[in-house]
Structure 1
Amino acid sequence: MRATILPCALAALLLAVPGGALAQDMLIEGGPIYTGVPGAPVAEMVIVEDGRITYVGPRRGQGPIVPLGWQVIDLKGAALFPGFTDGHAHLDGIGAREMTLNLEGSASVAEAMARLEAWAVAHPEGPIIGRGWIETHWPEGRFLTAADLDAAAPGRFVMLSRADGHAAVVSTPVLALSGIDAETVAPAGGEILKGPDGQPTGLLVDAAMGLLRAPEGYSDSPAAPREVYRAGFAVYARYGWTGIHFMSAPWGDVPLLEAMAEAGEAPIRVYNSVTPDGAAALFASGPRSVADGRVVTRAVKMYADGALGSRGAALFAPYSDRPDTTGLMQMTREEAVPVYEAALRSGIQVATHAIGDRGNASVAEWYAEALEAVPASERPNGEDVRWRIEHAQILRPEDYRWFVDLPIIASMQPSHAIGDLHFAPARLGDARLDGAYAWHSLVDLGVIVVGGSDAPVERGDPAIEFYAAVARRDLSGFQGPDWRPDEAVDRMTALHMFTLWPAYASFREEELGTIEVGKRADFTAFDIDLMTAPEAELPNAKAVLTIVDGEVVYRAEEATSRP
């Protein structure tokens, strides 16, 4: 693909537009415009008509005469990019984070419990639900316990999910209501942590969370689902995202999201990968799309293992800092392969969560088995299935071949690497870091690497994700010894990870992902030029303009540029 430059035809194009042009017709100028097309020059002007790009190129003379009714957007030095898409996030969790106890950034057990205590005072009735704590950098050096929660919120029903969503700590009333005691055996794929006295500490990992019971009348939604999604949409439009690949989208919420899109309440694009309970129904219906592609549902999300931080990621060898475990597989070959085969026959994409090296290798082998069992002639998509592994976080280098040969899209989250660098070496040991967060190695092999955030596990800020991809350092600039700096990527690659490659992974690269004539007018503008600014400044970039289908869905109150 290449940028289309039409300087000679520009005047004629503008004069031909009737005076009654749609409100979404616009001209954008006043800052660098990065098309995302390799080798293309930085453009100076973009013209949009009826939601599509009709011109991208240099500014002519003093500027064209703009037809009546058009919007003229002056970037004021801000940098414009193809619309950024979060290739892996949880829209419901993003909205819920705005409405529940948020423990993100807690610096210690003491601080987390101070927040809980304050929340309990401000919300004296009902259960307390929260998320976002992570113990790996706490001075106490331990997980939260039921005793911590009981002291901060005596007698209350409290459930606080770890940041990765693969573990939760609950209060004693929850343990009692759920019937979890010293004799309780964790289900396959789960773990109940117990103290020296054999009693549960209150922390449950992965499948063990399924044992939890709630009081009568309790709902884990902090508000009506529509309000939760509205909150998520508002946050993401403000961050500059024009689209989200909604992983583990509840099958029951798909009609609501579609209705919101039809009603004009979905300001950004949603690509749904639904929970396994919706797989059979989606296979029967086939891909779904509403509101001119604003909400598309054509994938199912499966889980192979847990997370690294809670030691649920499935490894071939034991954890270096806990030799008694190799992690937790969440499904077996016998469970996975029939679902994969059914997906192939129905034209539905598969996205499978796999973090540990054993989890990734298992999924790749199961993919290969299903692809061999269902020939291309029996698949609506033929050879073009575009299956994904979500996270692909810890790989054995010899397993890179699966991503090339099958092929498999690697859907990865750069911010995980700059958070995990503080504990992953202890979990894995040095040797296994060779295949950890290996963006550059996979890209060099021609693998499509989709960038995402996994919000609300991470903040969900595109500037932080872009920085993480190119710097491979935490937000203080720390990288640590032997954190494989060569796995960082260049800025054009990082741009593709959040624009063109998510478009490809959702089968929409012909209309999204770059700024080219004929494509949909999805743009993100930042007050910092991500392609030229010093590396350390990148996380501070703020979106000043978010445009979807030629409609401004977010504009900063004061869109000023930085030198």
Structure 2
Amino acid sequence: MLQRALPTTLSSALSSAPPISGTLPGEIGITTEWEETRMSADVLFTGGPVFTGVGLPLEGMAVSVVDGRISAVVPEAETETLAGPGTRRIDLNGALLAPGFQDAHVHPVGGGVELLQCNLTEAENAEQALAAIAAYAAANPEESWIVGAGWSMDHYPGGTPTRQLLDAIVPERPVFLMNRDHHGAWANTAAIRLAGLDASTPDPEDGRIEREADGHPAGTFHEGAAELFAEVKPEVSPDLVYRGLLRAQEEMLSLGITGWQDAIVGSANAPVPDGTAAYLRAIDEGTLKVHVIGAQWWERGVGLEQIEGILARRDERASSGSAGRFELGSVKMMVDGVAENYTAAMLEPYRDASGHDTCNHGISFIAPEIMREAVTRLDAAGMQVHFHALGDRAVRDALDAVGAARAENGPRDNRHHLAHLQVVAEADAPRFAEVDAVANLQALWATHEDQLDTLTLPFMQDGAERRQYPFGDLVRGGAKLAAGSDWPVSSADPLAAIAVAVNRAVPGYDAPPLGGEHQRLDLATALAAYTSGSAYVNHRDHDTGHVREGYLANLVIIEPNPFEVPSDELFGTAVTSTWVEGEEVYRAGRVPPRTDSM
């Protein structure tokens, strides 16, 4: 999966072959039964195309906002009837007006906290990462542990940095750093010693310890092995979690994201801090500007008995009076790991460095029979299930579970969705539509890059490249699409992900489109996945995800208009203004929208 930030300038032209197109749920026009009051507009957007959430943008239309909602979408010739003395006019000057983005799979609290800790996401190689760690340690002498995240596996041989690298720069204090995909950790000798780990420590069932020749931990800990430090490393304080949430909100608003699904809440045993208390505090203090769906963590070491508590938490939040800002109607099931450490669950075995088959098919964190029963019961109770499924076996098991629920309970409106979808068997692409499961795309990863090309594809079966992130096949199979980032695993920028979805390649990396040009999406489909598609998954398509009368004025301005630039120049588009319920909450200083009063 793509770990590095994408450049905004191009060094080479990318393929311009015609992309494929598709449809999304809830294709609707711009008229509703909402009663238009014809009050004078508080805000009036004119002078640019309007992407309504599906299809191609409308030209020559104006959008009026009254009391935080869209009051009219009308031809620009009619704008004078909507304006009054206090109307604020936004001249788009050719920029695109679109619904606010919604991230259907993100870890904002973890991302925000990591921005406040030892953050390695900007390091472009091992030397820069080590320099950043040393600088952070020097700047924070009072911290008993150096904790943080963001190192990239492809910067180290085999993707496994050693304890000695850390010992050389921080020899006394323990160091514990999650990698960018958060499926592994890097620790120094002091941390390993404090955790009581040595050559006799067995691998946990859900993880693996990289070892030296004598069996001593080498410094890299995959999946559940990272939890061996849980009892000794410092907890993230409630205040830091809260500050992390607000920092994350600031970051995401700057990228045009006006709502999201937090992919892990409700557990102290999950790999990211639980943000539930922080969300509730933000609601009480009036600092949470966006709407959030929390996906409650399915404890993979616990069985069906946890369902009762999950439903109780959902119902308590639903009756709180503030569920429109934060609700708990989803359950996160992590079905497998990730391909680069060979824990993604695969139908065919991984290969070794010599190209020979191993006995390793990855890890299934939840037994398929338990998952089918759990999903059926959750579905019957009106819960959505949000699956982490990377490998083709994990995808099949998740689809089987959704299919079992549908067979038992009949059609329901729970909108179960599978995130990541790195490898999907060809036979399973049409099953999304058959069982009514949404494909939740992390499109930024759908390109050749160092980690995929050096740590993943060489260890998969022949032909695996053409099955990587098969978005085109999913659309042709009739799947509904949503989109998310998985930040802080990689950038939260929706426009960067959309650019990759359209091109299947990134500037500066000399490789053909990943999986073939037939896996590309057209721009309208990719943009819809990040707006109306994610609103559908979040059960917020009744008032967000579209530019439509009566809907909340959650809007973004994008410059230049992405529909007017060549596909290989999409990487240069940016959000210049973000609006939540009619209030401008972000404006880029470099290209502000032109405003005046009428």
State TM-score, norm by structure 1: 0.89
Paired residue secondary structure (1:152): coil
Query: Where in structure 2 are the equivalents of 1:301-340 lying within 5 Å?
Result: 301-322=332-353, 323-324=357-358, 325-340=360-375
**Structure 2 contact 105–262 (Cα < 8 Å) conserved:** yes
Deviation of 1:557 (Å): 3.0
Identity %: 28
Q: How far, CA to CA, are the matches of 1:50 and 1:193 in structure 2?
A: 57
Deviates more, 1:435-444 or 1:314-323: 314-323
2:561 corresponds to which letter in structure 1?
D
Q: How far, CA to CA, are the matches of 2:570 and 2:362 in structure 1?
A: 35
Residues 481, 453 of structure 1: alpha-carbon distance in 2 compared, 3 angstrom cutoff = closer
Residues 286, 108 of structure 1: alpha-carbon distance in 2 compared, 3 angstrom cutoff = closer
Paired residue secondary structure (1:301): strand
Q: Which residue of 2 aligns with 1:172?
A: 189
1:464 aligns with 2:496: yes
Q: Which residue of 2 aligns with 1:540?
A: 572
Q: How far, CA to CA, are the matches of 1:250 and 1:141 in structure 2?
A: 34
1:283 corresponds to which letter in structure 2?
L
Q: How far, CA to CA, are the matches of 1:224 and 1:457 in structure 2?
A: 20
Alignment partner of 2:147 out of 102, 112, 129: 129
Deviates more, 1:551-560 or 1:539-548: 551-560
Alignment partner of 1:348 out of 371, 380, 383: 383
1:473 aligns with 2:501: no
CA deviations 1:306-329 (Å, max 9, x no partner) are 011222111122223454332222
Q: How far, CA to CA, are the matches of 2:592 and 2:246 in structure 1?
A: 27
**Structure 1 contact 5–57 (Cα < 8 Å) conserved:** no
Q: Which residue of 2 aligns with 1:385?
A: 414
Deviation of 1:532 (Å): 1.9
Q: Which residue of 2 aligns with 1:9?
A: none
1:4 corresponds to which letter in structure 2?
I
**Structure 1 contact 530–538 (Cα < 8 Å) conserved:** yes
Alignment partner of 1:491 out of 518, 523, 535: 523
2:324 corresponds to which letter in structure 1?
G
Q: How far, CA to CA, are the matches of 1:5 and 1:409 in structure 2?
A: 26
Q: How far, CA to CA, are the matches of 1:516 and 1:61 in structure 2?
A: 17
Paired residue secondary structure (2:280): helix
Deviation of 1:271 (Å): 1.6
Alignment partner of 1:283 out of 285, 303, 311: 311
Q: How far, CA to CA, are the matches of 2:323 and 2:371 in structure 1?
A: 33
Q: How far, CA to CA, are the matches of 1:255 and 1:395 in structure 2?
A: 36
CA deviations 1:46-69 (Å, max 9, x no partner) are 001122212113211784462244
Residues 129, 411 of structure 1: alpha-carbon distance in 2 compared, 3 angstrom cutoff = same
Deviation of 1:295 (Å): 1.9
Paired residue secondary structure (1:328): coil
Q: Which residue of 2 aligns with 1:407?
A: 436
Deviation of 1:196 (Å): 2.4
Deviation of 1:429 (Å): 4.1
Alignment partner of 1:260 out of 261, 265, 282: 282
Deviation of 1:38 (Å): 2.6
Paired residue secondary structure (1:224): helix
Q: Which residue of 1 aligns with 2:291?
A: 269
Q: Which residue of 1 aligns with 2:17?
A: none
CA deviations 1:494-544 (Å, max 9, x no partner) are 111100110111122232212111222111112221222222332232211
Paired residue secondary structure (2:127): helix
Residues 399, 4 of structure 1: alpha-carbon distance in 2 compared, 3 angstrom cutoff = closer
Deviation of 1:483 (Å): 3.5
Deviation of 1:390 (Å): 1.6
**Structure 1 contact 45–59 (Cα < 8 Å) conserved:** yes
Paired residue secondary structure (1:282): helix
**Structure 2 contact 49–57 (Cα < 8 Å) conserved:** no
Q: Which residue of 2 aligns with 1:379?
A: none
CA deviations 1:475-502 (Å, max 9, x no partner) are 4253347642221100110111100110
Deviation of 1:296 (Å): 2.6
1:211 aligns with 2:239: no
Residues 321, 451 of structure 1: alpha-carbon distance in 2 compared, 3 angstrom cutoff = farther
Residues 560, 51 of structure 1: alpha-carbon distance in 2 compared, 3 angstrom cutoff = closer
Deviation of 1:280 (Å): 3.5
**Structure 2 contact 430–478 (Cα < 8 Å) conserved:** no
Q: How far, CA to CA, are the matches of 1:265 and 1:282 in structure 2?
A: 26
Residues 549, 321 of structure 1: alpha-carbon distance in 2 compared, 3 angstrom cutoff = farther
Q: How far, CA to CA, are the matches of 1:353 and 1:187 in structure 2?
A: 20
Structure 2's unaligned 5+ residue stretches are: 1-26, 268-273, 300-305
